[in-house]
Structure 1
């Protein structure tokens, strides 16, 4: 199994969504990919350890609680010639509790620790940046709108080539062809993708900022909390 760029894109999209409910159809629509490709990305993400299932699959052959087999064998012993047809009762979706309904809509979640480690230290080698000639496009890396005012003016602008681009700069081949479209639909995903590009093409200061910010966005639990002043 080889991890593909769109698998990383899907994982970052789930980070951007946070606790939002989502379906494969919505995931595909917002990323500009097919539903079948969205399923394939989730499958590879699970195998790679970048994602975690929100519910464990039922064991094969499991039909009930711990005493189900015992009850069945007792019935067979009493009436060995009986033939039974068991009809599974259907449960309407509307009758599901909120937690069960949410799990049905959100089959997986990011594996924060693994995904952060891959994003910070592995992804730029798995998906290296390819620089292109000057072109109009969508700003990325430190040129993205999320970092306006963070870096001094005059820095080289980097862009994803796009026919509707308004900024001219050094072109960077996006992680996946769907990236410019997907980024323009979701500001948080845009920030995550721009930070990843800063790791790929940025200078030392930009890479340092990107490392800290990506860590905080993907795996906030790993970031030490700043202690307030102590009194007394």
Structure 2
């Protein structure tokens, strides 16, 4: 077994995609092409997640309860978000269109993207390729936006985001 050298931000993205696609056969090359992460990085991510107990390596099923606890209690400390300059991009966190009315702040947050149509204060996404990946996966977009709320939001907003993630993790219903 490989040595665990700590979680990396792309591990969150891979685990979220595994939850979204849990009803399908999951192959490394499919994850790689959908997430724009190299196959070797996806493989390493799966190994790290298995070692940490967040993934069953036999069937590649996510330990959803453990993962949710990691997101709630670890994500803002392990992968904190910092605000950057105002730029054009695509909305994230509470600014994402389906989340906008559910959260308390009106501040616009974006992932920088030259092709983006929105403007706001930037935060770095968990992994650079997510901006490209979420353009083809609306569910992944919303889940990553919820993760950004956990990374940067106030405690009330973080609790709402965790509640919404729990609802998705406990059901097979798309959001």
Establish whether TM, by shorter chain, passes 0.5: yes
For 2:125, the equivalent position in structure 1 comes to 174
- Output the TM-score relative to the length of structure 2: 0.88
Shift of the alpha carbon at 1:116? 0.9
**Rg bigger for which structure?**
1
* C-alpha deviation, 1:128, in angstroms: 0.7
The residue that corresponds to 2:31 in the other structure is: 27
Q: Which residue of 2 aligns with 1:218?
A: 169
Q: In 2, Cα distance between the equivalents of 1:139 and 1:17? A: 24
CA contact (8 A) 1:115 1:218 kept: no
Aligned equivalent of 1:164: 115
Cα 1:122–1:220 shift into 2, 3 Å:
farther
**Alpha-carbon distance, 1:23 to partner:** 1.1
Task: Tell me, in whole angstroms, the C-alpha distance in 1 between the residues paired with 2:53 and 2:171.
Answer: 18
Gaps spanning 5+ residues in structure 2: where? Answer: none
Identify the match of residue 153 of structure 2 among 202, 213, 224.
Answer: 202
> Does the CA contact (< 8 Å) of 2:68 and 2:162 recur in 1?
no
> TM-score w.r.t. structure 1 length?
0.68
Task: Give 5+ residue unaligned stretches, structure 1.
Answer: 55-106, 222-232
Instruction: Extract structure 1 runs of 4+ deviating beyond 4 A.
Output: none
Q: CA deviation at 1:219?
A: 4.0
Matching residue of 1:65: none
Residue aligned with 2:23, SS: coil
